[in-house]
Chain A
Amino acid sequence: SQTIHQWPATLVQPVGSPLSLECTVEGTSNPNLYWYRQAAGRGLQLLFYSVGIGQISSEVPQNLSASRPQDRQFILSSKKLLLSDSGFYLCAWSVLGGTGGYTFGSGTRLTVV
């Protein structure tokens, strides 16, 4: 069966520090991968999506970047965190070209102090 792993679960980082969040998927090949962010009390905002290795599309300009070094690995990064980067970060995957839904990871709650 397919599983998605996201870590860490919680993270407190000072302003100006770097960030690296990792997401891996097991049990499927060539998935679509997504990074979403949810600010406190707000809805989910799509940040990045990827349809293949090295293929990254950004939905909104921001202080973040994403990379997909392997088929089932998706990384969210920042060189210097801002206070506004605080939020709940969620990774998700879906089947390429499929009509089924997304499967989300358990999320990382990031607090920038």
Chain B
Amino acid sequence: DAKTTQPPSMDCAEGRAANLPCNHSTISGNEYVYWYRQIHSQGPQYIIHGLKNNETNEMASLIITEDRKSSTLILPHATLRDTAVYYCIVNNAGNMLTFGGGTRLMVKP
């Protein structure tokens, strides 16, 4: 599976959009981009995934660049409950997910 690079931490003001970047320059054509988050002392929670096109669901939007070498997870109106570690993972469907260090997002009032 391709490796990903994420900033170790980010801050965001409550009510503002949180934009979490992820670099995955070695992604191959059949690998998906997945985003999970882990709130303290809980299991990771699936957020969204995509292959080529941008995706949106009730939790977030995923923007994938045309060359697929990077992506951005967007939380449109961050709340204090969005404080968590966010993991970006690229994975060939059917393979095991490998979690890296993620980005620790701190939403501040």
A102, B44: Cβ atoms closer than 8 Å: yes
Across the interface, name the chain B residue whose C-beta is closest to A104: B43
* A104 contact set on B, CB distance < 8 A: 43-45
B96, A44: Cβ atoms closer than 8 Å: no
Question: B interface, by DSSP: helix, strand, loop or mixed?
Answer: loop
Across the interface, name the chain B residue whose C-beta is closest to A4: B43
* A106 contact set on B, CB distance < 8 A: 42-43
- What is the interface size of chain B, counting residues whose CB is below 8 A from a CB of the partner? 20
From A46, A49, A88, A101, contact of B49 by CB (8 A): A101
Beyond A43-B102, A99-B32, A101-B49, is A49–B43 a contact (Cβ under 8 Å)?
Answer: no
Which residues of A line the B interface, CB within 8 A? 34, 36, 43-44, 46, 49, 59, 88, 90, 92, 96-107, 109
Q: Tell me, in angstroms, the Cα distance from A92 to B107 when the chains sit together.
A: 27
Q: Tell me, in angstroms, the Cα distance from A99 to B91 when the chains sit together.
A: 9
Interchain Cβ contacts under 8 Å between A and B, 23 examples: A36-B99, A43-B99, A43-B102, A44-B44, A44-B99, A46-B96, A46-B97, A49-B96, A88-B41, A90-B43, A92-B43, A98-B93, A99-B32, A99-B49, A99-B93, A100-B49, A101-B36, A101-B46, A101-B49, A102-B44, A104-B43, A106-B42, A106-B43
